[in-house]
Amino acid sequence: MTLLDLLEKARRISRRPYEHLLSRPAVGRGYLGYNCLFVPEETMHAAGYAPVRMFGKCCGADVSEKYVPSQCCDPVKNLLSSLDQGVFGFLDGAVFGYCCDTLQVASSILKERNPLEVFQVNVPTRFDGELALDYLAEEIRRFGEDLQARLGARIDRQDLEKSVDVYRENRELLMRLKRLRKARPQALSASDFLAVSQMGCFVPKEEHNGFLREILEKLAEEREVSEGSAPREAGRVMISGFLDGDLELLRRMEELGVTIVDDDLCEGSRGYEGVLPATEGEGPARRIARRILSLYCPVKSLGEEEYAKRLIAKYRESDAQGIVFLLFRFCDPQYMEYASAKLALREEGIPFVVLEPVTRDGRFAQMETRLEAFLESL
């Protein structure tokens, strides 16, 4: 396959992921859905399941008020509507990590009112310190036992260690691709890079690792344009927040002349940055716990690693001209962190703008004017 063929495959899968899964033979024991970064995917993988991220972008009518009030964020409402309408009927279960109160409540409601097997992994609010590591490692062990008891799966230490290595390789390959894109931004657009990355949420990790190696090989072969020779483009921004899997928004932004030089997205770099080396003599549950605790999300606390400090450091490193926040209405944790971060950004003289990601029903036009005005100000 050519590079263009590979990218089109990633776009196709990311655009209609659940249709893709239904069109192919089931993998191993089947599929387990998960909702955020803070779930032990390696445990699901070791049990013979392919973990699949549950985005609500494929849902039809909004029936979420059967479960939650209307003042909930769109990702949770869309997810609940999709579950209610059978979009995720191919799953053998759903695994929820407690990234926020709304999802914690939603998972508890589903556990009582939905025929799908629902698993809950309690993730500590603070990520620093040995107590957090001990607690999360025990939660991961408990989750593995629960998975075996309720689904009849079998997890042994050897399989779990192999799964940990498969996922570690995946993060390392994504970091290699990100470094290559940073050196040669003209080689891969941000929307294509996110499609390649997000594809890994919907296919087995071994398959995604092979796909990433092939992409890296093709990019290495197509070096007609030498590194650093491309002109420095205008409208360079870094994006932060959550897309709910909606890569169409990135594509529309690029059509307006936005050059996305880096991201701090939930379904983007937050999931694979901070790759940790294997710890000698440490069991797989603690290795998985260390991996999860190395991730970053504004709804969690990692000692002195404040949202503003992280954003400013990434912004300086990326040579961006501004930051675009993608924040869903009624997502209180994100907006609380944003309220604090914007003061620091103003002090540093960093331009920024907030967009609420809505592209459905032609409503992208509501964001287009704000984005165009922001680009003109850079």
Q: Give the model confidence (pLDDT) of 221-260 as tens digits.
A: 876 544 455 556 668 999 999 888 888 888 889 999 899 9
Of 311-315, 346-350, 354-358, the poorest mean pLDDT is in 354-358
**366 or 261: which leads in pLDDT:** 261
Give the model's confidence band at 99: pLDDT under 50 very low, under 70 low, under 90 confident, else very high.
confident
Is residue 267 within 8 A of residue 53, CB to CB? The reply is yes
pLDDT at 358: 67
Strands 30-34 and 118-121, how do they pair?
unpaired
The DSSP letter of residue 110 is H
Q: Is the pTM of this model over 0.75?
A: yes
- CATH architecture of the domain with range 21-151: 3-Layer(aba) Sandwich (3.40)
Tell me the domain boundaries of the chain.
Answer: 21-151
| 75 pLDDT more than 90 | no
Distance CA 351, CA 373 (A): 12
Is residue 104 within 8 A of residue 115, CB to CB? The reply is no
The alpha carbon of residue 28 and the mean position of all alpha carbons in its chain are separated, in whole angstroms, by: 23
Structure tokens at 188: 């891969």
Within 92-156, where are the H helices? 101-113, 130-151
pLDDT at 295: 85
pLDDT at 225: 45
Query: Can you say whether the dihedral through the CA atoms of 133, 134, 137, 143 is positive or negative?
Result: negative
Which whole number is the average pLDDT over 193-206?
A: 95
**74 or 142: which leads in pLDDT:** 142
Measure Cα distances from 114 to 81, 85, 97 in Å. 12, 11, 18
Distance CA 245, CA 192 (A): 13
pLDDT at 326: 93
| 362 pLDDT more than 90 | no
| 49 pLDDT more than 80 | yes
| 300 pLDDT more than 80 | no
Measure Cα distances from 88 to 19, 52, 109, 348 in Å. 10, 10, 16, 45
